[in-house]
Structure 1
Amino acid sequence: MLRVKDLVAFYGASQALFGMEFAVDAGEVVTLMGRNGMGKTTTVNAVMGLLAARSGSVEFEGSRVDALPAFRIARLGLGLVPEGRQIFPNLSVRENLVAAAANRTARQNPWTLARVFDFFPRLGERQRNMGNQLSGGEQQMLAIGRALMTNPKLLILDEATEGLAPLIRQEIWSCLDRLKREGQAILVIDKNVAALVGLANRHYIVEKGRVVWTGTSQALARDSALQHRYLGV
């Protein structure tokens, strides 16, 4: 579904990506993991067309998309839950969701307001509240719901549980597991190894703008030295 090959990107004169390569297939949950500042969010921005790549390629469903503007990439079926949530603070929960609603690929059983509220009952209870009246966990649920309302083929979550209370974090992981069981392809950027090895099919570890390891959850779980080297604080 998504193929990123030899991706190179800069911020001004500073190189941030040094040949990033990874792939996500239909129905898979894949992670990008690594310490802060290693290029994970930069990679997401380059994939979504928010940062121009200097070289390399991004293919989605067999077609190059790295030269397209961000809005056209999104319309192809990539849904982003950005770092920091970035919901509309002066719109209600319902308005945040309706603003993003689309089913451009004529998906069967599409995501609707009713389905999002069933998936996240707390959002249904607070649907008339403004975005800035929600807790951090509720804002993250809203950001995920907003992305789902675009009916994405691939859902990308950047720092899915950062700064959330443990109970809310577990609720988010449970929701992602439900999406996986429904066949939703997901790319997750997060640091919670324990949760991710139980959720994802494959993992890519990023160090200084390039992939330094890739493998299964089983391989990652049993290699404590690898976790300490690339993921430990």
Structure 2
Amino acid sequence: MLELRALQSGYGETQVLFDVSLSVAAGEVVALLGRNGMGKTTTIRAIMGLLPVRGGQLAVDGASVAGLKPFQIAQMGLGLVPEGRQVFPTLTVEENLVATARAGRWTLADVFALFPRLQERRRQLARLLSGGEQQMLAIGRALMTNPRLLILDEATEGLAPLIRAEIWACLARLKAERLAILLIDKTLDALMKLADRHVIIEKGVTVWSGNSAELAAAPDIRARYLHL
């Protein structure tokens, strides 16, 4: 579904990605790992058309999307839960959810069933929600676009333990429904249980990829690329 080969990108004259390769198949969960500042968010932004592709290949369903606008990439079935949530603060919960909705499997009722807390706060302005509730709203908003691939940048960063557990349970349910997921998070234990494969980047270069069993059996890789 999604394939990056030797992707290069960056900000202005500053190149951040030099050789990032990864793929996500239909129904697959892939974790993008690496220490802070290694290019994970830049990779997500390049995938979504928010940064230019300077080299390499970026394809969805085998067709190049390099140079397409973000809304065109989203229309191909990619839904983004951005770092920092970025909900629309002056809209209500319900207005946030319907603002970018497309017809498909996910409806307002489905999102409220997934996150009952959002239904309780459906008339509340998004800026008045807690951080955890805003993250639920950001996930719900992305699901309302009815994506084939859900991309989450820092899925549970800064959230209370109970809220983190709720988010992980939500992602497990989405995986059971065979929704493809690409996610960034620092909670390695949870990622090892959820993800089918892991891709590690270091200074804008893919340095390792493999499944959870292979990563669990490679303490040297974890120490070298994931630990501070």
Aligned residue for 1:227? Answer: 222
Deviations 1:116-170 (A, max 9, x none): 0000011011111100110000000000000000000100000011111111111
Alignment of 1:54-65 (within 5 A): 54-65=54-65
For residue 159 of structure 1, the aligned residue among 133, 137, 154 is: 154
CA distance in 2, matches of 1:113, 1:14: 41
Matched, 1:198 2:218: no
Aligned residue-pair number = 228
CA distance in 1, matches of 2:61, 2:134: 31
Aligned residue for 2:43? Answer: 43
User: Which secondary structure does the structure 2 equivalent of 1:227 belong to?
Assistant: helix
Deviations 1:59-78 (A, max 9, x none): 10111111211110001100
User: Please, which moves more after superposition, 11-20 or 154-163?
Assistant: 11-20
Matched, 1:81 2:76: no
CA distance in 2, matches of 1:48, 1:64: 12
Moved over 3 A (4+): none
For residue 111 of structure 1, the aligned residue among 106, 126, 143 is: 106
Which amino acid in 2 is paired with 1:28?
Answer: E
Q: TM-score, normalised by structure 1?
A: 0.96
Matched, 1:180 2:175: yes
Q: TM-score, normalised by structure 2?
A: 0.98
User: Which secondary structure does the structure 1 equivalent of 2:37 belong to?
Assistant: coil
CA distance in 1, matches of 2:208, 2:62: 25
Task: Give the superposition deviation at 1:225.
Answer: 2.2
CA distance in 1, matches of 2:60, 2:11: 24
Q: What RMSD over aligned residues (CA atoms) do the two structures have, in Å?
A: 0.8
Q: Which consecutive unaligned segments of at least 5 residues does structure 2 have?
A: none
Which amino acid in 2 is paired with 1:183?
Answer: R
User: Which secondary structure does the structure 2 equivalent of 1:198 belong to?
Assistant: helix
Which amino acid in 2 is paired with 1:117?
Answer: F
User: Which secondary structure does the structure 1 equivalent of 2:174 belong to?
Assistant: helix
Aligned residue for 1:92? Answer: 92
CA distance in 2, matches of 1:222, 1:131: 43
CA distance in 2, matches of 1:115, 1:10: 37
Aligned residue for 2:66? Answer: 66
Q: Which consecutive unaligned segments of at least 5 residues does structure 1 have?
A: none
CA distance in 1, matches of 2:182, 2:92: 27
